[in-house]
């Protein structure tokens, strides 16, 4: 089992779904987890579950669309811990699925802000803290449509593809000058609210639960993977 005792981890999009499951799994592995999201009450519920299981967490409500909020979060973490060992970036916005010609510009702008601009802001603000760690790791949660686009998924796919490029370039820029290792993980079909929104007729029991993804992410953090590393989490992982 991966032992993260004494390490500090930040998880975005941690109020529910895969982000919450990863936060709880990181805490169970011994990390102090900083959990972020927009829903304070949902974050508090995740924090309570972590504490009930014997782990440690700090909630930090942040809207990633607010660049100043990301800057304040980085400053607060840096003042308390001086370094960040693990950053797991799960937060994303799924705009309504529709043909490219019909894409709503307001929804697309929101997706680009949260999925792309916020990703760059996170990399910029947390780069010094990650590189201050003795074993820094970044895990980015992506989607298959970023590299295999499908009809009606244009808005989401474009935003996630752009974010993937940023992550991959950042990994290449960092690997020869620091110990930072970067993994891009496609969770695959997983039982989440976002999945239910995209596939309203699907039987939730037909896809894996978020804890399967969480277990794989924590296990990956204990491996000596090459950077950038890419993988997809299967049903039985």
Cα–Cα distance, 212 to 234 (Å, whole number): 9
Q: How many other C-beta atoms can be found within 10 angstroms of the C-beta atom of residue 82? A: 11
The contacts found for 196-203 with CB under 8 angstroms, 24 or more apart, are 197/94, 198/94, 198/97
CATH of the domain at 139: 3.40.50.720
Range of the domain at 176: 8-232
Q: Is residue 2 part of a domain?
A: no
Q: Which residues contact 188 (CB under 8 A, 6 or more apart)?
A: 144, 208, 213, 232, 233, 234, 235
69-87 tens-digit pLDDT? 999 999 999 999 999 999 9
* Confidence at residue 236, expressed as pLDDT on a 0 to 100 scale: 66
212-231 tens-digit pLDDT? 999 999 999 999 999 999 99
116-158 tens-digit pLDDT? 999 999 999 999 999 999 999 999 999 999 999 999 999 999 9
Q: Is residue 3 part of a domain?
A: no
* Confidence at residue 207, expressed as pLDDT on a 0 to 100 scale: 95
Q: Which residues contact 6 (CB under 8 A, 6 or more apart)?
A: 30
Q: Is residue 117 part of a domain?
A: yes
Beta-strand runs (E) in the chain: 8-12, 32-37, 56-61, 86-89, 137-141, 181-186, 229-232
Whether the upstream peptide bond of residue 228 has omega within 30° of 0, thus cis, is: yes
Q: Is residue 56 part of a domain?
A: yes
Neighbour-count burial of 237, counting CB atoms closer than 10 A to its CB (0-12 exposed, 13-18 middle, 19+ buried):
middle
CA 32 to chain centroid? 16
Domains in the chain: how many in total?
A: 1
* Pairing, β 137-141 against β 181-186: parallel
Q: Which residues are catalytic?
A: 156
Whose structure tokens read 């009606």? Answer: 152
- pLDDT grade, residue 237 (50/70/90)? low
Q: Which two tokens stand for residue 75?
A: 């400053």
């Amino acid at each position: 089992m991966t032992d993260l005792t004494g390490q500090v981890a930040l998880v975005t999009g941690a109020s529910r779904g895969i982000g919450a499951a990863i936060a709880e799994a990181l805490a169970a592995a011994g990390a102090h987890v900083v959990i972020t999201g927009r829903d304070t009450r949902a974050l508090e519920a995740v924090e309570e579950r972590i504490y009930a299981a014997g782990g440690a967490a700090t909630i930090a409500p942040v809207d990633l669309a607010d660049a100043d909020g990301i800057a304040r979060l980085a400053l607060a973490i840096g003042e308390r811990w001086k370094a960040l060992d693990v950053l797991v970036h799960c937060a994303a916005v799924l705009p309504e699925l529709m043909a490219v010609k019909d894409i709503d510009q307001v929804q697309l702008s929101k997706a680009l802000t949260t999925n792309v601009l916020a990703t760059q802001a996170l990399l910029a603000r947390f780069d010094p803290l990650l590189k201050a760690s003795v074993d820094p790791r970044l895990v980015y949660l992506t989607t298959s449509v970023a590299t295999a686009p499908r009809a009606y998924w244009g808005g989401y796919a474009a935003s996630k593809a752009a974010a993937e490029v940023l992550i991959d370039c950042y990994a290449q820029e960092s690997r020869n000058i620091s110990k930072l290792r970067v993994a891009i993980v496609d969770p695959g079909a997983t039982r989440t609210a976002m999945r239910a929104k995209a596939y309203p007729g699907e039987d939730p029991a037909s896809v894996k639960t978020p804890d399967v993804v969480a277990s794989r992410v924590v296990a990956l953090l204990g491996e000596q993977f090459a950077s950038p590393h890419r993988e997809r989490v299967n049903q039985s992982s």
